[in-house]
Structure 1
Amino acid sequence: MKLDRNTKVVLYLVGALVFMGGLAYASVPLYRAFCNATGFNGTARKAKATLANIHGDSQAIVRVRFDTNTRNVPWTFKSEKAYMDTRVGKTALVWFDVRNNADHPVTARATYNVLPDTMGAYFMKTQCFCFNDVTLQPGESQRFPVVYFLDPKLMTNPDTDTVEDVTLSYTFFESKQLQNVAKTGS
């Protein structure tokens, strides 16, 4: 069957439209995966192990500040310390306190970011409450550890080797995934 020129143009346009729609649909998870893998845009990376021991350490100290926020989540959320002076290449531990002020259970997930953005690739977390959803019952309080290290490779990058101050910022959002499950009952 031979297609006329107009039909071919229409088919090419429909194909391009479907391709662009699929690309737009996949762009958010692809971007998130890219940021998690590379530390792009200040995204702290999840370390499989304490890689600091492999790369060695440094005498450099970087002040890591902790910023805590909630977005429409009825929780009190704060870090144990406002900041920690962290030795590059050494594992550090900081605690975060969370309390549900609502009269019903609330499930939320924390998003995180590192500023300046260039430090995201070197801020490695081995344990963090931000890797999973968190459910707190009414009035419940919990304490969450974050174990992290600053990869010594940051000392070889001219964009990061003189950074003295980093901010690790968390924001809790209600978990849409679990809200949808609760609504549908499945």
Structure 2
Amino acid sequence: MNRNIRVALWLVGGLVFMGGLAFASVPLYRAFCNATGFGGTTMRADKAPKVATDVIVRVRFDTNTNGLPWTFKAEKPYQDVRIGKTAMMYFTVTNTADRPVTGRSVFNVLPDTMGGYYRKLQCFCYEDQTLQAGESKTFPMVYFLDPELLKNIDTHKVRDVTLSYTFFESKAAKK
């Protein structure tokens, strides 16, 4: 095989590799954020911690919709919780359209260094929610702040956290 063909094959191979890497980057980044809490992504938990501390953190709740004819709000704008103690917040969603609409909520925590320590035991955000025309539903969200955050130099002094939810129309429902 002559040199020009080899160089062309290496270039085509490099192009295919880079295209595949670009195609896989979004799911890989999402998996990385879900596994580590990077970028404020909250973590799922199977059980609550056995020990709660006396340290209080104010958790604020920000609710939004994007392209959905829904109203969406938290029962209270914030909650003061002890690190390690399980807490619950209720969210009310109302479909203001004259047709059924299916939405899915995405979420984020600020400051983003707290994402890995904000643990959810139960959340409406893990699956699509369908509301009939004019229907309202109230959803619970059960969570805790992992006591391990007190050992991290970036989070041990944080006393104000914001959990932000945004409802979008479900891609699965559109199909």
Please tell me whether residue 173 in structure 1 is matched to residue 168 in structure 2: yes
**Among residues 141, 146, 149, which one is paired with 1:151 in the alignment?**
146
**Among residues 27, 30, 51, which one is paired with 2:28 in the alignment?**
30
Task: String of CA shifts for 1:69-89, please: whole Å, max 9, x gaps.
Answer: 000110000000100001000
2-structure distance, mates of 1:12, 1:135: 50
Q: Who is 2:131 aligned against?
A: 136
Q: How many residues in Structure 1 have an aligned counterpart in Structure 2? A: 175
1-structure distance, mates of 2:96, 2:8: 57
Please tell me whether residue 118 in structure 1 is matched to residue 102 in structure 2: no
Q: CA deviation at 1:177?
A: 2.1
2-structure distance, mates of 1:133, 1:6: 54
2-structure distance, mates of 1:18, 1:89: 48
Please tell me whether residue 58 in structure 1 is matched to residue 56 in structure 2: no
Q: CA deviation at 1:5?
A: 1.1
Q: Who is 2:155 aligned against?
A: 160
**Among residues 34, 39, 42, which one is paired with 1:44 in the alignment?**
42
3-state SS of paired residue (1:84): strand
1-structure distance, mates of 2:24, 2:47: 30
User: Which letter maps to 1:104?
Assistant: R
**Among residues 6, 9, 32, which one is paired with 1:8 in the alignment?**
6
1-structure distance, mates of 2:106, 2:172: 15
2-structure distance, mates of 1:26, 1:77: 33
2-structure distance, mates of 1:22, 1:133: 30
User: Which letter maps to 1:121?
Assistant: G
Structure 1's consecutive aligned runs of 4 or more residues displaced over 3 angstroms after TM superposition are none
Q: What is the percent sequence identity of the aligned residues?
A: 64
Q: CA deviation at 1:48?
A: 2.0
Q: CA deviation at 1:105?
A: 1.1
RMSD of equivalent CA atoms: 0.8
Structure 2 gaps, min length 5: none
3-state SS of paired residue (1:27): helix
1-structure distance, mates of 2:61, 2:95: 20
Q: TM-score, normalised by structure 2?
A: 0.97
User: Which letter maps to 2:135?
Assistant: E
